Structure 1
Amino acid sequence: MKPATASTAALASGVASRVAAARVLDAVLHKGRSLKGELATALPALADPRDRALVEAIVFAALRQRAGYDAALAAWLPKPLGQRDAPLRALLHAGFAQLDALALPAHAAVASTVDAARAIGRTHQAALVNALLRRAQREGLPAGDPSAAWPPWLLAQLRRDWPGDADAILRASVEPGPLWLRVNTQQGSVAALQAQLAESRIEASTTPLCPQALRIDAPVPVSALPGFADGALSVQDGSAQLVADALSPSPGARVLDACAAPGGKAAHLLERDPTMRLLALDVDPARLRQIGATFARLALGATAALRQADAADVGAWWDGRPFDAILLDAPCSATGVVRRQPDILLHRREADIGALCRTQSRLLDALWPTLAPGGTLLYATCSILRCENDAQVAAFLARRPDAAIEPLDARFGRRMRQADREQGSQRLPGEDGMDGFFYARLRKG
């Protein structure tokens, strides 16, 4: 390929990446679409994995920092952008993210973003895009208040629940988390995978908190991880990996994963004990297929069964044989993973919390009779809202005299108590580099 042709192709690729990022941001910010769903459509359309990684990086950075970028636009524009200019606002957020959070070379970032304005039909505003990005380059972007991105009702609840920790939670919500890997010890050791990553110039560290984990602090595309396609490792945050330790079923146990998709926690349990007799449920057939794909990639599931069902509708799926252990990773507000799913703050509604709490109660009450006496149920969420966590457990313990809570050690976060009674353990976002997560280990008498 001639140099001029290569340069032209690279320019076109750069513009296409910015257009894709702006369109994803427009859909998420202004049309109420799911970030995960939009990326699932946008990324496969880009042939080069570097372009896919760039789009993902731009979108996540822009969403995490959107409060600061909106503040810049409010300060620098003579009048606010209207609804018709929503695509332009999304493109400007993408441009700011490149210069600010990602610190990309300014010339390429500005030129490609200005060309992207023309590509999305905003030729008449290309000069404005250029001027605003050049100003951001010269002056820097104002530091945004991370609390500004939170809906007022959710911010108020956060401050009520965590008066001494709210500011740290807010700061953690705008910082990208490390990449956590779980090593499939059925295929190799943690040390061997760490060495293999080092050969690919990927630095990964171990932690005594999670025996199968490797932590990577520098961004790395999953496609660049040696062994991923072959099932040697999975991407799973450290807080989610701790679920297997919290449940800790006996070898060969009969185990239920009641809300199993996408299958990471069930796979972890099977990696620990391939003789486990596992039933994985999910109400969504597409998500159930995702579990099957996860098991297939990891060469697991010989003793596992998958079934589409609403876990709370016990009569429709339970055969009457009690389980030795149950994992209830309950539907929740996901407020502990905002840094990984920043669109949560755009889509969550105050009425959702009450509905989620009712679903959690319904699942706990429905599943408890399927647990054998002496068995263990682990109630877990990726929430930091106390109404979904320790308050939910306190209410369940009050309803069920045959239920007792077993305290977990310091690896699982701070122990939550009311009236000197244990009600689970809570990790807050960013602690030990992990996501926010709640664990309550319940024993049946």
Structure 2
Amino acid sequence: MKARLTSRAIAARILAAVYNGESLVRALPKGLEPLSLENRPLVQELVYGTLREWPRLEGIALQLLRKPPRAKDADVLCLILTGIHQLSGLNVPSHAAVGETVEAAKSLGKSWAAGLINGCLRNYQRQKGALEDQLTESQSNALPDWLWQAICKQWPDQASEIAGASREHPPMTLRVNLQRGSRADYVSTLQNADIPVAINPHIATAITLQTPRPVSSIPGFLEGWSSVQDASAQLAAQFLQPNNDESIFDACAAPGGKTCHVLECAPKAKVLAADISDQRLESLQENSTRLNLPLDVKVVDATQASVTLGPRQFDAILADVPCSATGVIRRNPDIKITRKAADIATFHQQQRDILEGLWPLVKPGGRLLYVTCSLLEAENDNVIEAAQSQLPQCEVMPLAGGTLRFNTRFGLQTLPTLNNGDGLYFSLLKKVVTPTCA
């Protein structure tokens, strides 16, 4: 009779799928599907926690192993890593961390690995200090070496804090829908429901919950009083400055947080939201329906937008482009495994292609806000530098800096911090009106 998979075994399978190239956004729901709701939190904690610490945990494990497990035994390596994570980062009694992780190997049908896992975890307990001392600087900071080196080069004074933020649970921040009421009134509503919050002093719509919770338990959420959106992401609408009499195109709109915020700021604006597939647009349509925000939705490849949309032009375009997501690693910790240094050049070219595809759609005198959730210059200033030299009538406009915002050569960067927003880059481009001869 086949043994029933334990929570730790399921976590190891999900991690092994990510290790072998599957994205967490696909592997996690598939792995959690057979579990009851009450058994899911432990699996999610083990998966997310292990991924956030992966480079450090792997650096320790490889010291304990004579040789890395074969590819088909990636789940064994993942069990060892989850075991070390439980011993070093969770409040799990050591006997349970070791014993249950060993049992998980048996439930996976790999009883042969039980002794190996037990030996590794016991040796970690005995040699923890020495093992940690042998880690490289990037491993100690739980970042892949290529990314740690890039961050140290670009953000030398903030590198440790950036790395620290990537290892933490992300804050749960709400965007208050000011069309429904003031932030002060909504904060009072939450406090009356015994939900403590922190008010963001720099962003007028942002409040952060002291403890994350299901959205269904947040007063007014289902009625459209608020939405979940990171504080830094709420800057996009602020920088775009949409007006009610404008036509606006959100070219890479899914999942729709920024699109809906634009409409909350300018509810009479004519907004077209697009992305590359119907599947990606589903969540956007769900959000706009919940918030009762009218908008047009269309499948458009942003690199071909000027062809697809023909002669149509817009007063403002929002381009929240695909990127390495190095500024949101705490939300997408599989990046620590799946993202490679060579990917950055591919993203850079894709981003330039998107700007080239969108620029003809900007009206003379109009503007385009370029946004990434990357910390890397190659995807940020370097893309805008190329755009400024290649796109006709393109001028970079200044953006206001401030607390936790850093002005760069061509834009503005927010950095991920422990209790604040994610790492996003913004650059505002204006299409200059060409003077006509009298």
Task: Using structure 1 for the length normalisation, give the TM-score.
Answer: 0.85
Q: Which residue of 1 aligns with 2:7?
A: 17
Indicate the RMSD between aligned Cα atoms, in angstroms: 2.8
Q: Which residue of 2 aligns with 1:7?
A: none
- CA spacing shift, 1:186–1:401, aligned 2, 3 Å: same
For the residues of structure 2 that align with 1:98 and 1:224, how far apart are their CA atoms? 30
For the residues of structure 1 that align with 2:86 and 2:301, how far apart are their CA atoms? 43
- CA spacing shift, 1:225–1:76, aligned 2, 3 Å: farther
For the residues of structure 1 that align with 2:81 and 2:216, how far apart are their CA atoms? 26
Q: Which residue of 2 aligns with 1:290?
A: 283
Q: Which residue of 1 aligns with 2:253?
A: 260
- CA spacing shift, 1:237–1:19, aligned 2, 3 Å: same
Q: For the Cα contact (< 8 Å) 1:376–1:442, is it kept in 2?
A: yes
Q: Of the candidates 334, 345, 351, which is equivalent to residue 343 of structure 1?
A: 334
Q: Which residue of 2 aligns with 1:333?
A: 324
Gaps of 5+ in 1: 1-11, 418-422
Q: Which residue of 2 aligns with 1:215?
A: 208
Q: Which residue of 1 aligns with 2:21?
A: 32
1:226 Cα offset (Å): 4.3
1:243 Cα offset (Å): 0.7
Q: For the Cα contact (< 8 Å) 1:324–1:371, is it kept in 2?
A: yes
For the residues of structure 1 that align with 2:41 and 2:191, how far apart are their CA atoms? 21
1:257 Cα offset (Å): 0.2
- CA spacing shift, 1:403–1:80, aligned 2, 3 Å: closer
Q: Which residue of 1 aligns with 2:358?
A: 367
Tell me which moved more, 399-408 or 61-70. Answer: 399-408
For the residues of structure 1 that align with 2:327 and 2:236, how far apart are their CA atoms? 15
1:79 Cα offset (Å): 5.0
1:376 is aligned to 2:364: no
1:153 Cα offset (Å): 4.1
Q: For the Cα contact (< 8 Å) 2:165–2:418, is it kept in 1?
A: no
Q: Which residue of 2 aligns with 1:428?
A: 415
1:18 Cα offset (Å): 2.1
Q: For the Cα contact (< 8 Å) 2:80–2:117, is it kept in 1?
A: yes
1:320 Cα offset (Å): 2.6
1:204 is aligned to 2:197: yes
Aligned to 2:302, the other structure's residue is in SS state coil
Number of matched pairs: 423
For the residues of structure 2 that align with 1:135 and 1:182, how far apart are their CA atoms? 47
Aligned to 1:57, the other structure's residue is in SS state helix
Q: For the Cα contact (< 8 Å) 1:424–1:438, is it kept in 2?
A: yes
Q: Which residue of 1 aligns with 2:345?
A: 354
Q: For the Cα contact (< 8 Å) 2:275–2:300, is it kept in 1?
A: yes
For the residues of structure 2 that align with 1:228 and 1:182, how far apart are their CA atoms? 10
1:132 Cα offset (Å): 4.5
- Residues 296-307 of structure 1: pairs in structure 2 closer than 5 A: 296-300=289-293, 302=294, 304-307=295-298
Give identity over the alignment, percent: 40
For the residues of structure 2 that align with 1:367 and 1:197, how far apart are their CA atoms? 41
For the residues of structure 1 that align with 2:179 and 2:98, how far apart are their CA atoms? 48
1:65 is aligned to 2:69: no
1:298 Cα offset (Å): 2.7
Q: For the Cα contact (< 8 Å) 2:200–2:206, is it kept in 1?
A: yes
Aligned to 1:321, the other structure's residue is in SS state coil
For the residues of structure 2 that align with 1:46 and 1:230, how far apart are their CA atoms? 30
Tell me which moved more, 366-375 or 191-200. Answer: 191-200
- CA spacing shift, 1:352–1:98, aligned 2, 3 Å: same
- CA spacing shift, 1:299–1:74, aligned 2, 3 Å: same
Q: Which residue of 2 aligns with 1:87?
A: 75
- CA spacing shift, 1:112–1:193, aligned 2, 3 Å: farther
